[in-house]
Amino acid sequence: MKNIIHGIWPLLFLALPATAQWSSDAAINLSIADGASDQAQPKVISTPDGGCFISWFDGIGTGYDVRLQRLDAAGNEQWAHNGVLVADRGFSSTQDYGLDIDAAGNAILAYRDDSGANVQISATQVSPAGALLWTKTLTSTTGFLAAPAISGTTDGHVVVAWSDNGTTRVQRLDAAGVAQWVGDVVMPPPAGNYFVSDLHGSGTDAILSIVHQTGSSFSAPKHLKTQKLDSSGALLWGAAPLAVFDGGSLQIGNFPDFVTDGSGGAVFGWYSSSPLQCYAQRVSAAGVELFPHNGSAGSIDGAQLRVSPSVSYDPTSGSTYLSWTELNGSQSQSGVGSQRFDAAGVRQWGANGVSLVGLSPTSNNWVTTESDSNGSFVFWSASSAFNNDIIQGAHLDAAGSVDIAIFDVASTPSGKSRLASDRSAAGQVALAWMDNRVDANDILGQNVQPDGSLGGATSVGTPYCFGAVCPCGNGDPAAGCVNSSGSGALLSSAGSASVGSDNLTFALSSGSANKPALLFAGPNQTSVNFGDGLLCVSGSIQRLAVVFTDGSGAAAWGPGIASSQGWNSGDSRNFQVWYRDPAGPCGASFNTSSGVSITFQP
């Protein structure tokens, strides 16, 4: 749930001891931002190397500035503690803002900017090294601007959307921050006001969600709408935005997030005001509702209420997962509920879903869900009393059974809010939240591995194939043969060798930036010159998946690798990565990583 206007936060300071990387102890979480003031509204977006960018508002100066930090997969800060300053602002209160990652692995942010004479909307691109590459101011107005959103597209472009005096505006920038449309795409409401709710890239297109306040009164019914725009700015889902929910009203202050389905469509979750009820909807690439109009309810239990849902989607099974805060009729007790829907929006976990946490006086809030091929993680804040919150999680398998029992993510009681999460391609979930255990609010974070454990992933298999003797003297004894970055590419593995768990993941570091990389495997080992590197896999080679490295040359694969290849317990495979490297030292235009040998277990 997102709110347009947030309150003013007091500026207090106490030093918070920082852990150096992801903690394995739920009582001692990673300190991401603990400057001499209040930090607020974190957002998380995963990076291809299994790490993440985390952004927040920081009151360290004369107002709430925009700051950003990058963590690697182990939770190590890649920049100075408390991150880099993206925008020096003077606001004493906050609105929503946007964070995403572009095709080159850069962070992109959109925010309200008061550095000039009037408040405008600006966007900034930040490299993996923490350099501000460009800032573009997209508006020139004295009108009311609100809650910008931003997203990258697969062609390297950036799309920004914002609210302007009750209309919605969208603009597209190229990789250098240059506007691509002669004028903004303007979407005026038929009546009332449009407010940007969320925005995501879908291939070279962008999908936008809008809250439509249908009248001038603040209490007028509020509907949820969506539109898809192509690279030219053409509206793909009709001349007017498609109505996702218009059968009642969204709760005041509810600006729902959504996720893309990986096939050109989008999956939405929201809750209505009367009754308080949670729904999900999936819209196809063609703009067709795949669930019943106005969505499928997570539960039909009329004796209880439901609010603040989080939605996720598993493209492997076509399943939509919805989790929410469950309330009794008087809203004096709360719990956590979840539901899975099939491709047609039919409830798969019974009429009322699964109760992860039963109703009790404990307040359960900030529910977020992250699905995977085996089901869905659910996280939430549980408060037994004011300022005595903890964060917990659990995992539900595809049948709705709890296969990872409730565990603590942050067990030190304190005020906690604005829980944000994102799941990496390797299955690790990164979480960040506001926490007042030391002062008014700091930003803390924690990772959760695919097996529900905290902290660093356990290394799997036996590394081999290091660059001791390479084709043109480009050796690196700690990784593969040296590439154009000046070092060799290292392949590492994590999770487990269990075919039953199927949570094996691979991570490539120090490859060639922004280039295709192929993970492959074979039953035997060898060592022969191959391009600028060594080929260390032989036998019947299986090509697993091609991904693009990010701006630092990192990439990730898994989980689900064993099942995709039909491997069984007792099978042994040797893994390596081939990647493009046109500027490599030996002139072959490609290179290889070090290798990992794994024998699978039950």
pLDDT tens string 512-544? 988 999 999 999 999 999 999 999 999 999 999
Task: Give tens-digit pLDDT for 8-64.
Answer: 223 222 333 444 689 999 999 999 999 888 999 999 999 877 889 999 999 877 899
Report if residue 149 sits inside a domain: no
Stated pTM of the model: 0.81
3-state secondary structure of 565: helix
Q: Among 355, 340, 365, which Cα is nearest to 406's?
A: 355
Report if residue 299 sits inside a domain: yes
Q: Are residues 273 and 409 in the same domain?
A: yes
In DSSP terms, which residues pair with 422 in a beta bridge?
Answer: 430
Which residue, of 354, 384, 414, is where some domain finishes? 414
Q: Are residues 482 and 369 in the same domain?
A: no
Task: Give tens-digit pLDDT for 79-136.
Answer: 999 999 999 999 999 999 999 999 999 999 999 999 988 999 999 999 999 999 999 9
Lowest mean pLDDT among 398-402, 432-436, 487-491: 487-491
Q: Are residues 469 and 564 in the same domain?
A: yes
CA distances from 477 to 97, 464, 466, 481, 531 (A): 45, 10, 5, 8, 18
Lowest mean pLDDT among 96-105, 177-186, 365-374, 488-497: 488-497
Q: Which two tokens stand for residue 522?
A: 């074979």
State the pLDDT at residue 309.
98
Mean pLDDT of the region 326-339: 97
Mean pLDDT of the region 402-423: 97
Q: Are residues 497 and 407 in the same domain?
A: no
Q: Give the helix/strand (H/E) hosting 563.
A: helix 561-565
CB contact set of 253 (below 8 Å; sequence gap of 6+): 1, 3, 4
Q: Are residues 332 and 475 in the same domain?
A: no
Mean pLDDT of the region 490-510: 86
Report if residue 348 sits inside a domain: yes
Distance CA 591, CA 530 (A): 7
Q: Are residues 360 and 502 in the same domain?
A: no
Q: Are residues 375 and 519 in the same domain?
A: no
Provide the domain limits for residue 351: 256-414
Report if residue 215 sits inside a domain: no
pLDDT higher than 50, residue 567: yes
Is the backbone of residue 550 left (phi > 0), alpha (psi -120 to 50) or beta? Answer: beta
Q: Are residues 486 and 589 in the same domain?
A: yes
pLDDT higher than 90, residue 373: no
pLDDT higher than 70, residue 7: no
HSE of 226, CA atoms in CB hemisphere, 13 A: 29
Q: Are residues 361 and 484 in the same domain?
A: no
Domain count, the chain: 2
DSSP for 440-487?
S-EEEEEEE-TTS--SSPPB-SEEE--BSS-TTS--BTTSSSB-TTSS
Report if residue 169 sits inside a domain: no
Which residue, of 414, 444, 472, is where some domain finishes? 414
Q: Are residues 264 and 371 in the same domain?
A: yes
Would you tell me how many other CB atoms lie within 10 Å of the CB of residue 116?
10
Report if residue 487 sits inside a domain: yes
State the pLDDT at residue 179.
97
Q: Are residues 405 and 468 in the same domain?
A: no
Report if residue 444 sits inside a domain: no
CATH number at residue 590: 2.60.40
Q: Are strands 193-202 and 205-213 parallel, antiparallel or unpaired?
A: antiparallel
Q: Are residues 327 and 469 in the same domain?
A: no
Report if residue 31 sits inside a domain: no
Task: Give tens-digit pLDDT for 219-245.
Answer: 899 999 999 999 999 999 999 999 999
Distance CA 190, CA 220 (A): 14
